[in-house]
Structure 1
Amino acid sequence: MQGMLSGLLPDSQISASSMRDLHAPTGVARLVASRSGWFPSPAQPLAKEEWLQVDLGMAKAVRGVITQGARGMDGGSSTESRAYVRKYRLAHSLTGKDWTYIMDPKTSLPKVFEGNTHFDTPEIRRFNETVAQFLRVYPERWSPAGIGMRMEVLGCDLPGRDEELV
């Protein structure tokens, strides 16, 4: 695990395309540790380009992700939302500017990963090792309650690599 759950990665290294609660720290997207999670802005409920991003601080050998749904108040109302992402794509980058999707070797298209079927049960998805500093999750399909997510990145340091990328 690369630091989402443990808090090793600071909130400043977690970002999102939008957030429902603009005052919530991005750290709510941490696997298990957070009681809530990332919810994108409801202003774009059908947008397919919402994303949750993690900056690992330096290039790492990335091998998978653990995803979990989220729980929170529904747009400021008194109803609790229990949301999760059913399917998603993953993209990686060394620069944070140029992105490459994890590809499906059978179809040569961006791989669509199976996500969660319940808001609170973590699910592990592995893929062929790739070198990346940034990882983005793009939700494709989600629960009736909408998009809600917490996550962790699986991987390890590159051999002989101690310094951060500039």
Structure 2
Amino acid sequence: MGLEQRSQITDVQFTASTSYDFSTVANQARLNNVANGRMVGAWIPRFKDDQQWIQIDLLHPKNITGIVTQGRPGHNQWVKSYIVRTSLDGVNFIPITDFGKTTPLIFAGNIDHETPKTQIFGQKISARFVRVYPVTFETSIALRLELLGCFVPAVTGTGTTSTTTQTTGSTPVTPPLSKFLVTFNIWSEAFEL
């Protein structure tokens, strides 16, 4: 989604529950970020509890398909497990769950501070806001991350585009690509394309 590049996701699009100090603010959480001067190259919250979170505002709803995480560069600090919650409005956050379940899915995090760990969600999630809540960690909560996904509008029978979502359980999801293709095939047959 472009978290690594400041030209795509700006510093102000990162927020967090807390930061340990000015050198560990949320915008330090870009995947592959490095320590630079007094900046440590990772987000580190002030407290070591399960109420801490980091949030990315994508400005518009996007289809999120996964996440990549890392720990603090050069230090034995990383997140071992975490929960992801998403929102379209920035107020009502829905946890990513297993299909048909209501309990938040706990994702396996990193096993060291440097190796990226990728987690692919079982479905596309339509969201503007993405929050990551660390659950367990090594030494201290320290996180760098990237979101996976894209914005792909669906073609409807009217020739217009839309980003229709449906709700499965408590998590909004985008219909699979096969539904887009069926819609296109029906539309193209009607107009003999």
Alignment TM class, shorter chain as reference: 0.7 to 0.9
Per the normalisation by structure 2, the TM-score is 0.72
Mark the runs of 5 or more structure 1 residues left unpaired by the alignment: 72-79, 162-166
Mark the runs of 5 or more structure 2 residues left unpaired by the alignment: 36-40, 154-160, 163-193
Match of 2:96 in 1: 102
Greater relative contact order (Cα < 8 A, sep 6+): 1
- Residue 135, structure 1, aligned to residue 135, structure 2: no
Cα RMSD (Å): 1.9
How far apart, CA to CA, are the structure 1 residues paired with 2:95 and 2:54?
14
The structure whose Rg is larger is: 2
How far the C-alpha of 1:11 sits from its partner, in A, is: 0.4
Name the SS of the counterpart of 2:57 in structure 1.
strand
Name the SS of the counterpart of 1:33 in structure 2.
coil
How far the C-alpha of 1:104 sits from its partner, in A, is: 1.9
Normalized per residue, which structure has more strand?
Answer: 1
- 1:11-160 to structure 2, matched below 5 A, reads 11-22=11-22, 24-35=24-35, 36-41=41-46, 44-45=47-48, 47-71=49-73, 81-105=75-99, 108-127=102-121, 128-143=123-138, 145-159=139-153, 160=161
Aligned residues: 149
Contact 2:58/2:128 (CA < 8 Å) preserved in 1?
A: yes
How far the C-alpha of 1:23 sits from its partner, in A, is: 5.4
How far apart, CA to CA, are the structure 1 residues paired with 2:60 and 2:100?
30
Per the normalisation by structure 1, the TM-score is 0.83
* More displaced 10-residue stretch of structure 1: 80-89 or 118-127: 80-89
Name the SS of the counterpart of 2:59 in structure 1.
strand
How far the C-alpha of 1:81 sits from its partner, in A, is: 4.0
Normalized per residue, which structure has more helix?
Answer: 2
